[in-house]
Structure 1
Amino acid sequence: MANNITSKIAADSDDVVFLMVPFPAQSHLNQLLRLSRLIRSRGFPVHYAASAVHCRQAKLRHEHDTLLLNTSGITFHELPTPPFNSPPPEPYSSVKFLQHLWPSFEASLKLREPVAALLRELSSSPVDTATTRTRTRRLVVIHDNLMNYVVQDAASVPNAESYSFNCSSTFCTFCITCQFTGKPFPVVELEPQAIPTLDNCFIPEVANFFFMQSQFDHLKHGTLFSTCRAVEGPYLDLLAQTTHADASVDKKTKQWAIAPLFPVTANDEEDKAHPTLEWLDKQPPNSVIYVSFGSTTTMSHEQIHELALGLEESKQRFLWGLRDADRADIFNAESTILQLPEGFEERMKGVGKVTRDWAPQLGILRHPSVGGFMSHCGWNSCLESLTMGVPLATWPMHSDQPHNALLMTHILKVGVQVIGWGERDELVTSHAIKKSIESLMASSEGHEVRTRAEELGKAIKQSVEDDHTWELNSFIAYAAR
């Protein structure tokens, strides 16, 4: 990836410093750390501020990713956070939203004062010891849009600018914006009643949390979106029109679509041996469906049993990442071994592999043996899959996932449904799972969605490889102007 645009600015990079303030959930921590790595690679000082638990979690998971560089050169600040509960996930809860993480989300609101202190520290003008003159130092604050409240004091720092970072799909953000504002939903591919709503994707506390964060939206200087125009160009334009129609928002607010934030091509020096990749090396091209539901999904024993049977009955090769959902504090919890049907792994030897470790998802999706991805449709997973040209079997659970699933299946047409959102409260049977796998991996429909996914993957990679069109470079040049 070229970075000619920022090279001249970075040569005097001590005049500009970046501060990252992530939201304490794995997908949010990960994306801002990936962005930190890219900005640091341009030569700028980068600081990453979160609780001690979440700094440690971000670094641990980042270093386990075989296709990402390490975090050297990034300064981590472990912010004091009040103790929070870390209960286990509830697989039999009637609400699939990650309620067990809510205590850590609430605790994040207590970070305002330590973040304000860090802002003052980082923005203080350093003295040039060679000339004894004081230099003006710009502080660029990039914060998760769910941390608007926490970073509000950046607006009172004269040499600071804050930019919110949106970890969700722009399509989801646009849908929720329409719902909040009561504006019509002008997407012809979908009937308005087909759009998931806040009350069936989130618990009420989260809707209130969103509203509180939105009260500080006007303080930001711009917005960064974890997407690219090749995927969501129309929704970026629609969202910009909706935002600028609001008289309370500064019409000068800028936006950049800066994804993907991960390497789009392999680098042999970055690859490390991993049992899952070694197993994939022995499989034919496009023959394996990768099954993974992210870090916030928990399934009942009955649902795991049905999924196992569906995989077995499909007679397709599979790689299944089987893990329980994260707790708020991943270092203070006993690991739960999720049980499979008796004899399942023995019967599947040579056909399928189950891994209970943290798997290198980018390396898996990039592998030529992988021809499909059964996913919860977290936005990280969707974007990684699309960039690698891998079509999806969509099985949304909560949050932005139902919107993302619709984007994959009904708009971009790069996926097939395991279930629709209207079926979310039902046990998904082995027959339905088998049918979706066969549709994706062994049918003419599957061939068509794979072709579209491959074409979209090429467009995404091209947007990054062209130094002058990748909006990340445009943002860095603007922020460090």
Structure 2
Amino acid sequence: MVPLPMQGHLNQLLHLASRLILSYNIPVHYVATATHNRQAKHRVQGWQPQVVSNIHFHNLEIPPPLHPLPPPANTSDADDQTKFPSHLQPVFDAISLLQGPVSALLRSLSRTARKVAVVHDSLTASLIQEVGLISNAESYTFHSSSAFVVHLYLKHRAGEAISEEIPALEGCFTKEFCDFIEAQYKYRNLSSGFLYNTCRIIEHEYLDSLEKGTTEEQPLVKHWAVGPLNPLTTYHRNSTTKTSKDQRHPCLEWLDKQGQNSVIYVSFGTATTLSDDQIEELAIGLKQSQHKFIWVLRDADEGDVFSGGNDLEAGRRKPQGLLPDGYEEWVEEGGMGLVVRDWAPQLEILGHRATGGFMSHCGWNSCMESISMGVPLAAWPMHSDQPRNTILITEVLKIGIVARPWEHRHETVGSQVVESVVRKLMGSQEGEDIRKRAAELGDCVRRSVGEGGVSSSEMDSFVAHITTTG
């Protein structure tokens, strides 16, 4: 496993390793820097420590970035609310230095193994370019974004027309990151197949299109939709499995006291820092909505999430002076909700019976977790694939509403808009209809990973392929 050193990417490949690959008794080697391996293990949810301990983690060392950038600040400039996490670009650039160590490990493993299958993030393809020189090795590309987004990207590269409703790439990424994507794409033809953290129940149309395209360009290359990769049975709201009280986050104890579908969960992922102005408007809007909420309020990850020193358990920096005076006390004492400053157990929150909605940046990892738990979304895209995921969630699957239209990304969302969005999702008939569709889709997706389900069959097919060919 060769992940991109960013939380949503580290997380998905670790889930693929621990939830699926290990269950087939296939040895797994997870390859990253020491810091990012630590981050992946520290934040993984849903697996006992002994499961992760069965993975061979390889701590590769590279020099620190030559030109590290500071993390985004809590500025009052509204434009910064859509700013791509370019403070991480030096980290992305530095991973090219891992090519030598990854190649050396690959050659070493190939001497003792009958076969080595390399599953790499689509954005780390350059690191495994020597795989074609090793007779008993193959590489497989893992897409950490939706098949819908991959489908649109390939159409764009082919010069095909795309609906005007689809956000342009230029507004979603910086030029530097677009160049980084292109640099990785040129190794696409080395791949013996493609894996997706999605389910054919969700995205069969786009998977079919992708398979047709690669059949013409790369005969016999297969595509497997093996998601959702996140754990399901432990956290789903219908599950009778409970974690012990001393292992539970305090917010879960609070959720236990709330009515079914009565709480909206608010979190914008690990790569975004909201401006002070936006945080204030969001705080007022949540209060005025009169719906209960859990709000995860943290700053964006730095390249090294442990660099803060005193915040190792959380693995994220705590913002200072962001909320109106007395706000947190009013929220908690009045029973309206919780403002969570540490690392929140997102899977457990989404899987709790009391959670009835998710205000999200629509990163694909969060989308899949929400879909698999049957929770509708209020989409607030920030950058990257998130604006296009929003189209999939709200226009195609119809399991969410738009909290902030992408065309208004340079504007601060006012408290009245926040209030209206929350009331629409949590307290209207339209919101109830959306919640019903989300619950039905979630039920189908969860069944897909069971015995005989479509995702389970896809995983069986992938394992059969890597263990019997070549």
Determine if the TM-score, normalized by the shorter chain, exceeds 0.5.
yes
Q: Are 1:138 and 2:107 matched, yes or no?
A: no
What is the CA-CA distance between 1:242 and the residue it aligns to?
A: 3.0
Q: Are 1:280 and 2:255 matched, yes or no?
A: yes
Which residue, 56, 60, 63 being the options, matches 2:38?
56
What is the CA-CA distance between 1:321 and the residue it aligns to?
A: 0.8
Residues 386-421 of structure 1 show CA distances to partners (whole Å, capped at 9, x for unaligned) of: 111100000000000001111111111100111111
Q: Which amino acid aligns with 1:262?
A: N
Q: Are 1:292 and 2:267 matched, yes or no?
A: yes
What is the CA-CA distance between 1:422 and the residue it aligns to?
A: 0.4
1:27 is matched with which residue?
8
Which deviates the most, 398-407 or 343-352? 343-352
Q: Which amino acid aligns with 1:209?
A: F
1:383 is matched with which residue?
368
2:208 is matched with which residue?
237
Contact 2:5/2:36 (CA < 8 Å) preserved in 1?
yes
Residues 217-263 of structure 1 show CA distances to partners (whole Å, capped at 9, x for unaligned) of: 10110000111011111111122223334xxx312111100101122
Normalization by structure 1: what TM-score? 0.89
Which residue, 266, 270, 273 being the options, matches 2:234?
266
Q: Are 1:216 and 2:199 matched, yes or no?
A: no
Contact 2:381/2:406 (CA < 8 Å) preserved in 1?
yes
Contact 1:389/1:455 (CA < 8 Å) preserved in 2?
yes
Contact 1:87/1:328 (CA < 8 Å) preserved in 2?
no
What is the CA-CA distance between 1:91 and the residue it aligns to?
A: 4.2
* C-alpha distance in 1 between matches for 2:242 and 2:119: 30
Which residue, 304, 308, 311 being the options, matches 1:329?
304
* C-alpha distance in 2 between matches for 1:269 and 1:288: 20
1:407 is matched with which residue?
392
What is the CA-CA distance between 1:438 and the residue it aligns to?
A: 0.4
Contact 2:211/2:222 (CA < 8 Å) preserved in 1?
no
- Structure 1 residue ranges without an equivalent (≥5): 1-19, 126-135, 186-191
What is the CA-CA distance between 1:355 and the residue it aligns to?
A: 0.7
Q: The residue matched to 1:105 in structure 2 has which SS?
A: helix
2:24 is matched with which residue?
42
Contact 2:121/2:144 (CA < 8 Å) preserved in 1?
yes
Contact 1:90/1:100 (CA < 8 Å) preserved in 2?
no
* C-alpha distance in 1 between matches for 2:54 and 2:11: 17
* Matched ranges for 1:294-373 at <5 A: 294-333=269-308, 335-338=317-320, 339-349=322-332, 350-373=335-358
* C-alpha distance in 2 between matches for 1:418 and 1:244: 38
Contact 2:399/2:438 (CA < 8 Å) preserved in 1?
yes
Normalization by structure 2: what TM-score? 0.91
Q: Are 1:109 and 2:109 matched, yes or no?
A: no
- Structure 2 residue ranges without an equivalent (≥5): 236-240, 310-316
* C-alpha distance in 2 between matches for 1:478 and 1:112: 26
* C-alpha distance in 1 between matches for 2:86 and 2:308: 16
1:129 is matched with which residue?
none
Residues 296-328 of structure 1 show CA distances to partners (whole Å, capped at 9, x for unaligned) of: 011010100000000000000001111110001
Tell me: CA distance 1:156–1:91, structure 2 relative to 1, closer, same or farther (3 Å). farther
Q: The residue matched to 1:371 in structure 2 has which SS?
A: strand
Q: The residue matched to 1:372 in structure 2 has which SS?
A: strand
What is the CA-CA distance between 1:120 and the residue it aligns to?
A: 0.6
Q: Which amino acid aligns with 1:308?
A: A
* C-alpha distance in 2 between matches for 1:244 and 1:43: 31
Residues 99-157 of structure 1 show CA distances to partners (whole Å, capped at 9, x for unaligned) of: 111110000111111100000111113xxxxxxxxxx6110100001011111111111
What is the CA-CA distance between 1:165 and the residue it aligns to?
A: 0.3
1:5 is matched with which residue?
none
* C-alpha distance in 1 between matches for 2:352 and 2:168: 36
Contact 1:86/1:328 (CA < 8 Å) preserved in 2?
no
* C-alpha distance in 2 between matches for 1:27 and 1:214: 20
What is the CA-CA distance between 1:209 and the residue it aligns to?
A: 1.1
Which residue, 428, 434, 439 being the options, matches 2:419?
434
Q: Are 1:82 and 2:63 matched, yes or no?
A: yes
What is the CA-CA distance between 1:21 and the residue it aligns to?
A: 0.4
What is the CA-CA distance between 1:468 and the residue it aligns to?
A: 5.6
Contact 1:88/1:327 (CA < 8 Å) preserved in 2?
yes
What is the CA-CA distance between 1:97 and the residue it aligns to?
A: 0.5
* C-alpha distance in 2 between matches for 1:159 and 1:222: 16
* C-alpha distance in 1 between matches for 2:26 and 2:87: 37
Count of residue correspondences: 440
* Matched ranges for 1:176-195 at <5 A: 176-185=153-162, 192-195=163-166
* C-alpha distance in 2 between matches for 1:178 and 1:419: 26
Q: Which amino acid aligns with 1:450?
A: R
* C-alpha distance in 1 between matches for 2:206 and 2:196: 11
Contact 2:143/2:194 (CA < 8 Å) preserved in 1?
yes
- More helix per residue: 2
* C-alpha distance in 2 between matches for 1:230 and 1:475: 18
* C-alpha distance in 2 between matches for 1:385 and 1:278: 20
